Structure 1
Amino acid sequence: MDLDLAQVRAFVAAADHLHFGHAARSLSLTQQGLSKRIARLEDALGTRLFDRSRTQVGLTPAGLRFLDPARAALAAGAAAVDAVRHGGSPIRVDLWGHLFEPLRTVRALLDDGAGPPVEIGPGRDLPGVAAALLRGEIGAALGRFHPLDDGLEQALAHRPVRFEPVDAVLPAGHPLAAAGRLRPADLAGLRLLLPAAAGRLDFLGSFAARFAIPVEPGGANLGLGHLLERVRTGGDGFALLPAELPLGDGPGIAVVPLADPTPLYAWSLVWHRDRPHPGVPALLDAFAAAGRRRRWLEYRPGLDWLPGAEDLAAVPDA
Structure 2
Amino acid sequence: MDLDLAQVRAFLATADRLHFGQAAEDLSLSQQALSKRIARLEAELGLPLFLRSRQTVELTEAGQRFLEPARQLVAAGDRAVAAARHVERPLRIDVWGHLFAPMRTLRQALDRLPDQPVEVGAARDLPSVADTLARAETDVGFGRVHRSRGGDGEASAAGLTHRLVRLEPLDLVLGTGHPLAGRTEVRPSELRDSILWCPAAVERLDLLQRFSDEFGVPTASGPANLGLDHFLEQVAADPRRVGLIPADLEPAEHAPVRFVPLVDPTPLYAWSLLWRPADAHPGIEPLLRAFADVGRSSRWLEYRPGKDWLPDTDTADLGTSPLRRPGV
TM-score range, shorter chain: 0.7 to 0.9
Gap regions ≥5 residues in structure 1: none
Q: Say which SS state the counterpart of residue 213 (structure 1) adopts.
A: coil
- Which string of whole-angstrom CA distances, capped at 9 and with x for unpartnered residues, describes residues 143-197 of structure 1? 1111156583321111111111100011213332122222222223211111110
> Aligned match of 2:163 in 150, 154, 159?
159
Contact 2:90–2:119 (CA under 8 A) maintained in structure 1: yes
**Alignment partner, residue 141 of structure 1:** 141
Q: 1:215 to 1:85 in 2, by over 3 A?
A: farther
The answer to whether 1:312 aligns with 2:314 is no
The answer to whether 1:178 aligns with 2:169 is no
Q: Say which SS state the counterpart of residue 186 (structure 2) adopts.
A: coil
Q: Say which SS state the counterpart of residue 178 (structure 1) adopts.
A: coil
**Alignment partner, residue 288 of structure 2:** 284
Contact 2:139–2:275 (CA under 8 A) maintained in structure 1: yes
Q: Say which SS state the counterpart of residue 180 (structure 2) adopts.
A: helix
Q: 1:185 to 1:115 in 2, by over 3 A?
A: farther
More displaced stretch, 170-179 vs 118-127: 170-179
Output the CA distance in 2 between the equivalents of 1:6 and 1:60.
20
How do 1:1-318 residues align onto structure 2 when only pairs under 5 Å count?
1-18=1-18, 20=20, 23-24=23-24, 26-28=26-28, 34-52=34-52, 58-79=58-79, 81=81, 88-113=88-113, 116-148=116-148, 150=152, 152-154=154-156, 155-247=159-251, 250-307=254-311, 308-318=314-324
TM-score (ref. length: structure 2)? 0.85
Output the CA distance in 2 between the equivalents of 1:64 and 1:310.
34
TM-score (ref. length: structure 1)? 0.88
Output the CA distance in 2 between the equivalents of 1:151 and 1:86.
37
The one-letter code of the counterpart of 1:312 is L
Output the CA distance in 1 between the equivalents of 2:102 and 2:264.
26
The one-letter code of the counterpart of 1:309 is T
Please state how far the C-alpha of 1:217 moved relative to its aligned partner: 3.0
Output the CA distance in 2 between the equivalents of 1:186 and 1:118.
44
Q: 1:282 to 1:113 in 2, by over 3 A?
A: closer
Q: Say which SS state the counterpart of residue 270 (structure 2) adopts.
A: strand
Contact 2:126–2:154 (CA under 8 A) maintained in structure 1: no
Output the CA distance in 2 between the equivalents of 1:144 and 1:118.
20
Cα-Cα RMSD: 2.7
Output the CA distance in 2 between the equivalents of 1:84 and 1:281.
22
Gap regions ≥5 residues in structure 2: none
Contact 2:113–2:287 (CA under 8 A) maintained in structure 1: no
Count of residues paired in the alignment: 318
Q: 1:205 to 1:108 in 2, by over 3 A?
A: same
